[in-house]
């Protein structure tokens, strides 16, 4: 995954010290983790709303296009 042995060593050292002080690390990251979860949740909801709006506009546009064509039966 990492192309540099220095990065791998740095991550190993950080992991070692974080593991030794895991309770402190957990307490420090608790607040930001809730904020990140809220942002991710908001992004998912926003993506779903945008998807549904675009889908309904596409469907409404295709119905109007069929209605506007002469000789075609309306739905």
| Model confidence pLDDT, tens digit, residues 32-51 | 888 889 999 999 999 999 99
> Residue 70's pLDDT is what?
61
| Model confidence pLDDT, tens digit, residues 48-60 | 999 999 998 888 8
Who's near 8: CB < 8 A, 6+ residues apart?
A: 2
């Amino acid at each position: 995954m990492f192309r540099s042995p220095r990065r791998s060593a740095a991550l190993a050292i950080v992991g070692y010290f974080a593991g030794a002080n895991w309770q402190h690390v957990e307490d420090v990251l608790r607040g930001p983790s809730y904020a990140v979860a809220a942002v991710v949740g908001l992004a998912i909801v926003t993506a779903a709303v945008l998807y549904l709006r675009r889908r309904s506009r596409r469907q409404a546009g295709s119905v109007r296009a069929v209605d506007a064509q002469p000789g075609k039966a309306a739905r």
